[in-house]
Amino acid sequence: MKTTFEIKDSTPRKNNSKHWQYCVGSGQAKLALRSDYAEQLKFIHDELGIERVRFHGIFDDSMQAYMGLDDFMPLPGAKNFKNYNFHNIAVAYDHILAAGMKPWVELSFMPSRLAKSQKKVTVNADGRCGMPKDDAAWQDFIKAFIRFLIHRYGAEEVESWNFEVWNEPNMSTFFSGSQADYFHLYEITARAVKDIDPKLLVGGPASATGAWIKEFMQFVKENEVPCDFISTHNYPGDGIGEVFLGKIMFDAIVGGVKRLSAKKNGRTLEGCQAVMQDKSEMSEMPKGQMRQIIEQIQEVVGGEYPIYLTEWNCNAILMSPSNDTRKVAAFQVKGIDEMEGYLTGSSIWAFSDIFDEFVMIPDEFSGGFGLLTINGIPKPQFYALKLMSETGPRKYDLPYTNGEVEIAAYEGEDEKRIFVYRQRMKQVAEPAKEYEVKIELPDGAKKVTRYRIDEDHCNPKKVWEQMGAPVEMSREEIAQIKQKSGLVNETVEAEVQDGVLTLSGTIGVNDVHCYVIQRA
């Protein structure tokens, strides 16, 4: 059965905020010291217009933010020789600014010298996941950091940054304390930031799955704690509310051992994928979860604070093969569309597979979160965002359907863009579906073109597999994959009849079609 859409010229338009361009995610702060990271980041900014980047662990011991003689020379009395050292953080931020972007400052994690407990964050990080052993010492450290930033970059620049306290404190992976502990940590941190410059923007709770927001807002109000924005995260493919170290890790240990035994041997990546299964491919999860959670968050916040979704994507399972496919492209097109108007800014996780949350996987298509592979090959989701980046400032306010085939329409001065997509949380082999879009164009159309993201278009992994899936990539092979998997502009033979343009086609599961209609 054909799915038909009608877009009337009288359809109201609303602002197209491009909330996803506000920021993009990354891995650990130490990665921002790498030259290939800096090159890819600039490419992302230049090609997609993304304005900021967010990463974990600026205060991890790997960044040497609080260093001492006993770090490398454990002699009697060595502990008395120590100092703050924000140079490595500055190098990372210099790379960001050189790319034309700004840092989204995640104030994490706890340096070992300040930590009450030496329990580490469990994602290949060198930061501690608990509270400071001395509140005043932590505040002195934060104040020194803020002074350093203002001295190096100037107050006007730093006042344009966001300062977010911690990352996902409701997940034991990142924070070993209680909700009350986090609220206290937030309070002493926010007050330290504001003591140096009241104009700096500070917020939280940076929670997973929209949790703790109501309680957080109540806490900051009752205690008159500074707060400029609300931040949270969501990954529908990870299961709402499921604790990382609970169900997932139980399956990884028990089920993973069985799967490793059955597989017997292989590359490190193959072992990881046997252990950490992609739950979105194991059962059919409902679509539209991004709209659902952002509506809930907006209702709780009630317009009192700007809302930032500082991490979101299709799946929180690193090394999931589906992260390299068009499934993520369709999910992001839908997510961007269905969250428009509900938040101030968002940050897709992440921009590159230069990423080491567990280990740095060298394989080209490793199932990483990135828009780009480790060698900078754009994935399908990059191309979806490229097409979205070129949309005009207005969006047709079409009814929300959450149907099998959906559309989103955008308008600029010289063109309109119609996205047709068939998003599903599970990549299933089903017959293509017919669609038809009728759009009223009183002024006619000069030219109509189409871009496709599907099995045969913008599919670099398929090109790589056709090359024999080389493990070690030469520069020539990388360039060849980029050339063969880029966007293809197809002319569409379509005429405006009685003021209506009809677009038609067939679309598979998780395919994305983008029509560009040039004004006559």
Q: Is residue 181 packed enough to be buried (19+ CB in 10 Å), middle (13-18) or exposed (0-12)?
A: middle
CA distance 150 to 159: 9
CA distance 280 to 227: 35
Q: Which residue, among 7, 40, 12, has the nearest Cα to 354 in the 3D structure?
A: 40
Beta strands in 184-240 (DSSP E): 201-208, 229-234
The SS3 assignment for 352 reads strand
Active-site residue among 168, 187, 338, 415?
Answer: 168
CA distance 414 to 447: 11
Element (H, E) at 260: helix 249-263
Contacts (Cβ under 8 Å, ≥6 apart) of 194: 200, 202, 226
- Judge whether 168 counts as a catalytic residue: yes
Asked if residues 189 and 140 have their Cβ atoms less than 8 Å apart, the reply is no
CA distance 396 to 417: 10
Active-site residue among 106, 281, 311, 411?
Answer: 311
CA distances, 419 to each of 346, 389, 514, 515 (Å): 20, 13, 5, 6
Intra-chain end-to-end CA distance of the chain, in Å: 33
358-376 per-residue burial string, b: 16 or more CB within 10 A, e: under 16: eeebebbbbbbbbbbbbbb
Asked if residues 374 and 350 have their Cβ atoms less than 8 Å apart, the reply is no
Residues carrying an active site annotation: 168, 311
